[in-house]
C-alpha cells in the first residue's frame, strides 16, 4: 500500500486533482466523493474525493457493458478539500492480482454511478463518471486506514 503524501504546494495538488478529473471525463477514471457535488472553485468547501483510475492496458475492458463484467483499477488517489486547501492524502498503486480489487469494485458497484459536472477551480466544468455516496467513502476510508 502507498504512503500518504501531503503537498504544501496547494496549487500543484489542486492542478493534479483537476488533471485526474479531466481523465475521468474521458472515461479513464471513476470519481467517488462524499459530498453532493464536486466544486473545486469554492474555497471554503470540504469534501473527500477518491479517484479510481481504470486499467486500460491490453486485454482489459475499461468499463462494463450494460452493467455486466467488472472494472479493473490500476491506481487509487485520495484527496481532501478542507478550509480552501487541497490535500493529497494517499496514492495506492494496484499491481498484479490485487487481493482487494473485488472488494473495491463491490463498493463502487453498490452505488449509482452517473455522469455529473465537476466545477474546476477556474469555473469551467467537466462531465465525469461519479459516485456521490458518503457510505462508499466511509468504506474506502476504512479499507485504506483513513480516519
pLDDT, tens only, 11-40: 688 999 999 998 888 888 888 888 768 888
pTM higher than the cut 0.85: no
CA distance linking residue 16 with residue 114, whole number of Å: 23
Which residue in 56, 42, 38 sits closest to 130, CA to CA? 38
Tell me if 2 is assigned to some domain: no
Domain extent for 72: 10-143
**HSE toward the beta carbon, residue 30, CA cutoff 13 A:** 25
CA distance linking residue 133 with residue 147, whole number of Å: 17
Residue 84 has pLDDT above 70, yes or no: yes
Strands 114-119 and 73-82: unpaired
CA distance linking residue 7 with residue 99, whole number of Å: 29
Tell me if 1 is assigned to some domain: no
Tell me if 91 is assigned to some domain: yes
Total domains in the chain come to 1
What is residue 57's predicted lDDT score, i.e. its pLDDT?
Answer: 66
Name the grid cell of 50. Answer: 477518491
Residue 124 has pLDDT above 90, yes or no: yes
Tell me if 3 is assigned to some domain: no
Tell me if 101 is assigned to some domain: yes
7 — pLDDT class (breaks 50, 70, 90) = very low
CB 118 within 8 A of CB 30: no
Name the grid cell of 146. Answer: 483513513
Amino acid at each position: 500500500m502507498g504512503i500518504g503524501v501531503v503537498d504544501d504546494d496547494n496549487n500543484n495538488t489542486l492542478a493534479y486533482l483537476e488533471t485526474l478529473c479531466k481523465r475521468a471525463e474521458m472515461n479513464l477514471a471513476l470519481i467517488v466523493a462524499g459530498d453532493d457535488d464536486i466544486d473545486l472553485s469554492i474555497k471554503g468547501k470540504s469534501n473527500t474525493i477518491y479517484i479510481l483510475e481504470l486499467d486500460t492496458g491490453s486485454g482489459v475492458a475499461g468499463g462494463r457493458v450494460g452493467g455486466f463484467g467488472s472494472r479493473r483499477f490500476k491506481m487509487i488517489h485520495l484527496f481532501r478539500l478542507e478550509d480552501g486547501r487541497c490535500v493529497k492524502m494517499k496514492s495506492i498503486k494496484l499491481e498484479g492480482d490485487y487481493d482487494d480489487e473485488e472488494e473495491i469494485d463491490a463498493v463502487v458497484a453498490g452505488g449509482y454511478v452517473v455522469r455529473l459536472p465537476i466545477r474546476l477551480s477556474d469555473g469551467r466544468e467537466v462531465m465525469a463518471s461519479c459516485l456521490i455516496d458518503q457510505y462508499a467513502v466511509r468504506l474506502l476510508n476504512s479499507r485504506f486506514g483513513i480516519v
